[in-house]
Structure 1
């Protein structure tokens, strides 16, 4: 089996998706950004690069200095195993976040090309020296420098932490997906490894967050950053960061229902911010149930499914109710109900058939949840669905009382 040290970033990461995330990050923070491999070679197109930095890179010596500076920044962050903020060779402020998987350095995400507002670092840029050494007219440099944005230092620090979380989440997800694909290929003719494949598949599933939700959230954050002060935007970013950290935490396969609900509330906070007064929710779970355990990331896909397929298509305000109870046989039942568009009997039957089939024909999020619950607890547990047109949908999740 290949180890992560044999992978390159381009092998484990979908570059198109990475470029999309990088572009949205750059738009959200007003910072320039680029992703490089372990050798400092860019694997994405630059996002929002400043006129000043592009001007420096038009000369051979300027390009060499900028490339060396990027490589040194990535190396320092790799050695420290954390994001760092530093001053580039030209006097601008940059930051870099290392991409490290299993203690192996794969590359880095670099951004910045700004000046620090409090420290007035614009004055540190020696235009005369740069003009002489790089053979660039000083008036061109001065005009380009005047367009450089001033950023508060605390925003740079927050951006570095957020960038680090994103970079490593993407890499961890990529390694999990590649490992999963290789296991499937190797065990196709070796039935004795079937259980190993199933375990690996489950761990791979835990590292994934629906890109539909991720990208829409980033758009929401970017829009808010332009319209208001940063306090609420920061709260959104922190909630999203917590969700991503939770989703990739593989040290425990089972979590307390209370912990799962904390993650759900952060997810719903983001969605309510996005939909404004069109979405509300109510959670009523008895305290005793909160200590019982379920596989992590069981409830979030069900709530996300209710929003996307139940509430989004309608114009009326939507609501999600989460209710829990202990049944006479001591098992736990959690009901997730939405007042959305619902579905016809034919569509419901088709969905239930795909969830309970051995293939992946449809309802993949629900099927993943069902397969995991049956895998952990047996055929008598799992999800059931009730729905009718214009009357909403209810998903029942039944699990045993496990502490």
Structure 2
């Protein structure tokens, strides 16, 4: 009782839309689920039973057409034997040369009959193989017979010839692999072959009559015999050879033994169930009486399951259609209640366009009134949060810029101070004075004013002083050429943009050459609304595999150091100006490196 009471109270406190939805879902869903559960367990068996019956009916219609094709081939063979030329050649023992028969009218009649036969849709070739040397008989070269008679040597080596020799069979329907390559290329991929004898010079000799056709006739029938996708239909002969198949790969997988089929044919209502490669399959048979073949159709369980699932999906889709109609009806009935909800939804949709405007205060304080109050509160909070987010993003951008700028490698200062100390110990006071003055000017340019921006002129002076100090250390081994047009010198550029690149060219380019000397060239030009500065050196260059890592912050230089200063410079430019700006490296090992710096053309403001 307490549970029912709590349930009643919970239902009473629910929103109106929830009540309508809950009632509709219960009344519409539970009966359908019960029906689906009842039928699904039986649905697969129903599909299997129906599909097997469909396959058996189709096979019963297909088998007579297969037998009809076989009979037409046999009839065509019999027609050849009834020709007068053939009868004279094979069934009248004579000692006269064969050449005399080629000059009779019956030889011409035989040629016309053979031409008409092989030009039909069914018969694709005719060959009569005879056992005597080809050079001794004009039969193989005469215009009337050369296309249809061949010496026995062209039959030897084929699989069907071996069968005839080993079994003494009188006739044989040959699938593709029984035939030789010459036969398949010139005549057809199936054949009906019979054995006969003829007498020549008082001696019985062997002969074979081969009537060729195409397996496509049977293959097309077998494809039409398939009840579902994924199944296969094939014809098998008494030697367990596949005569024709709707799908050669599937017939190889689901090939059943001829003896198994024959044993099951009379005892299983032309149907058996087997497990092949851990897959349950259903196989139906139909006997092709004339050659003693069996037509087999194998139905894997997978497509049958998919078919039953497809029926269930159709059922679910029909149910969803019914449910949508029911929901539409419920919406229509509740429209008088939900009109105000629609106005709230319309107002909320304006938020997608960036308009955050509150609604008028509600007159009624029901669920919809609470929704309007909540929406108005939400818009005020969203405005506040968006302002705070924009402010935080700007502060983050500035903080990241200064953080990157602060990461410039301080080793230059340490090394320069060591050099000044060494000069002082050597008593070279003039050089100490020059070095201290240059270092002072260097850091004055670096630290002058609190702004993070400078001009191209000051940055050029900055790197000139840097190279002057380095030449003090390395005995004037570095030449520096600055060729920037005067009209570019007053354009704005972030501080410490050129120095890390020049430093990288010195330490990892020029000083790694054999003579530790080289030249650095700085030039620039205007390109549209952008300024392009180019720094090139003739140092050792960068290998192709290391070149992509220079601007990623993950690569190391050839001397073992990192490229963090270069990466920081590239990131500073992209943070300030966007992803279209920054550094671009190109290099040829042993020849040098070029660095392109792209920045927008802006004049420095006071």
Relative to the length of structure 1, the TM-score reads 0.48
* Larger relative contact order, structure 1 or 2 (CA cutoff 8 Å, min sep 6): 1
Relative to the length of structure 2, the TM-score reads 0.33
